Amino acid sequence: MSQNDAPLLEVDDLRVAVDGKEILKGLSLTVRAGETHAIMGRNGSGKSTLSATIMGHPRYVVTGGSVRFRGEDLLALPVHERARRGVFLSFQYPVALPGVAVSNFLRQAVKAVRGDAVPAKAFRPLVKETLELLEIPEAFVRRYVNDGFSGGEKKRLEMLQMVLLEPALAILDETDSGLDIDALKVVSAAINRLRDAGRAQVLITHYQRILQYVRPDRVHVLLGGRIVKSGGAELAEELERTGYDGLDAEAA
Amino acid sequence: MESTRTGRSFAADVARLAADEPAWLRAARHDALAAYEAAGLPDRARHLWRYTDPAKLLPGDRPLAEPGTEFGELPPDYHDGTFEKVAALVLVRDGRLLRSALDPEVADAGLLVADLRAAATQHEALVRPHLFALAQAQLEKFEALSAALFTGGDFVRVPAGLALNRPVRIAHRVGAAGLLASRSLVVVGDGAQAEIVYDLASADARGDALLHAGAEVHVGAGARLRLVFIQTAGSAFVHAPVIRCRLARDAALETVTVALGGGLVKSLQATEIAGRGASSRALGIVFGDGRRHFDHHTVQDHVVGHNESDLDYRTVLAGRARSAYTGNLRIGLEGAGASAHQRNHNLLLSESARADTIPELEILTNDVACSHAAAVGPIDEEQVFFCTSRGLDPATARRVIVAGFLEPVIARIPGEELQQRIRGVLTSRLEAVT
């Protein structure tokens, strides 16, 4: 298969251990350009492990399987090269960078991912427009990255970075958790803005709630380190009614 | 005798310096020289000298250097011939004031910036009550040396009630190899407001000199002072400043210490919070690479209560650089109602760098609010991961994180252009080590 028609993301029989304990036990997932996927599951099922592994967190040790991005071995790449290829992770708990102004950080990130600096003249209106989309006051960019931010502000900043970096593959690790309905709508607007034929999004979530605003093409249930069930958007609604209990037997 | 082994006699130098000075100053110099000669080397077993060999601060066979007469080139952020950005510009070479230019408007209002030795004669009534008033009755050995030998220095006096809206900038260049001794005296009158920036650099990349520098800073009742000490000298420079500050009632002092240079720095900054309602804030950053050695000692001394002090020193070390920080926090018997806080965080960029941090709390009364926090460690890898996940390569990520760690202190330096110069110095130094 040539790189052009390879799936955007192809996870095959992925096994990952954290501190010597196997968390992902042969997970497979294919995401094509133009698709939005939702991965649902209980706490501890391996959802965050999957996103951290795709991004390349050093604590997560791949013990088997592969992850390909546009046909390329993603696991062989350092973290920053994954980002430059177009992979983005919206962190569940983004860290603070005290002393690093949001505006400075955004400029550095955009420069790194796009390969050259965006002129200030073009960058400022772009930031301004994105701030409006995300209902973020302009003074926000003068603050230090995530330093003293509320949970909702942190998620908004993650979305601000995502929209500015225009990733081909955005993985959102519980970006919806802890958000009130207004913030949820804003986050959904950011995700929907990125939906087009050349990109894909993977929403990792506990709840069906966000899927009312971002309708997924595919829904997967992650249980015990494997995907145990996949379906269309209706699967999320079904899970909402029945919970995960009925799926335990399938995982076993 | 122990003292005879700590160095040769400077009696002839003191006699020469004191020859055209008023009798009271001559006597003070002789007393200081006697104190220097009588004191043995500080005991290395005592904690304040555990990390720095006091013998390295001895003049040894260095002669007392004759200060240069040319300043050299000014950094571009300095002077544009106007007083738009500064209230006064002072050029000091090897501890001696060469030139001072004051905005005529503030000079008329009573701002005085002068050579300290000249001022001792010309403005005796202003200088004499303050000079050596804060130095302890028993001078520290090396403090006594700079008191006896100061070949020059500066006297800044802001009269009561005058509020300066631009900083006084004092550029100090060291170039002479040998022993240098300088002294600064700052007197900010009641209700006055000022910012003073001391910007010390060496004329070349090595900066062969040993500078014993003394400073006394008096902040009057209700006065506000921001005092900035920038040091970007070369890697052979030895810097031993002793800075003593005193805050009267309702006075507010903010010090910003930026130590980016020197091969060996042994510094004492002691602030006596002598009035109710006073507030002292001390910020500091240290960046060391190569084999640079920093030893900072601070004292927040609450002589009375119902006042506050806050200290935040941040250190970044690369290569085989070394830092020791000792923070004394004292609240005396009359100190009820004092609030005193201290933080010292150290980032180590290499396995061979080393930092020690020693908080010392001496609290003699109840009903106070005190805290101290100290940390030594490498860059947080979660921060690096976050930055690299946004496309920054690991080296850039580290530089961004380190620069951010130091930024809140740099942001307190008056003047965007000066801030940018300091950031530039840091960036180029960081690029060399990451």
Facing residue for B385 by CB, picked from A57, A84, A88:
A57
> Among the residues of A10-165, which ranges form H helices?
47-55, 79-85, 102-114, 120-133, 151-165
* Contact residues, chain B to chain A, C-beta under 8 Å: 380-383, 385-394, 396-397, 400-401, 403-408
- B300, B302, B308, B312: CA torsion to nearest 10: 10
User: At residue A180, does pLDDT exceed 80?
Assistant: yes
Above pLDDT 90, what percent of chain B?
Answer: 85
What per-residue confidence (pLDDT) applies to B1?
37
A214 Cβ contact partners less than 8 Å away, ≥ 6 residues apart? A36, A188, A191, A192, A201, A203
B3-44: per-residue pLDDT in tens?
444 567 899 999 999 999 999 999 999 999 999 999 989 888
User: Which residues of chain B are within 8 Å of residue A112 when distances are taken between CB atoms?
Assistant: 390-393, 396
- Check residues A72 and B45 and name the one with the higher pLDDT: A72
User: At residue B176, does pLDDT exceed 90?
Assistant: no
Rounded Cα gap, residues B141 and B143, in angstroms: 5
Shortest distance between the Cα of A51 and any Cα of chain B, in A, equals: 12
Flag the least confident range among A152-166, A180-194, B74-88, B203-217.
Answer: B74-88
Q: What is the ipTM score, two decimals?
A: 0.96
Q: Which of B266, B263, B293 is nearest to B354 (CA)?
A: B293
User: Which residues of chain A are within 8 Å of residue B385 when distances are taken between CB atoms?
Assistant: 55-58, 79
What per-residue confidence (pLDDT) applies to B75?
77
What's the whole-model pTM score? 0.92
- Check residues B151 and A116 and name the one with the higher pLDDT: B151
User: At residue B200, does pLDDT exceed 70?
Assistant: yes
Shortest distance between the Cα of B384 and any Cα of chain A, in A, equals: 10
User: Are B248 and B274 contacting, i.e. CB atoms less than 8 angstroms apart?
Assistant: yes
Q: Is the Cβ pair B388, A108 closer than 8 Å? A: no
What per-residue confidence (pLDDT) applies to B104?
95
A196-211: per-residue pLDDT in tens?
999 999 999 988 889 9
A5 Cβ contact partners less than 8 Å away, ≥ 6 residues apart? none
B220-243: per-residue pLDDT in tens?
999 999 999 999 999 999 999 999
Facing residue for B391 by CB, picked from A91, A100, A109:
A109
Best mutation target, A79, A95, A166, to test chain B (most B CBs within 10 A): A79
User: At residue A19, does pLDDT exceed 80?
Assistant: yes
Q: How confident is the model at residue A239 (pLDDT cuts 50, 70, 90)?
A: confident
Q: Which of B313, B389, B370 is nearest to B346 (CA)?
A: B313
User: At residue B291, does pLDDT exceed 80?
Assistant: yes
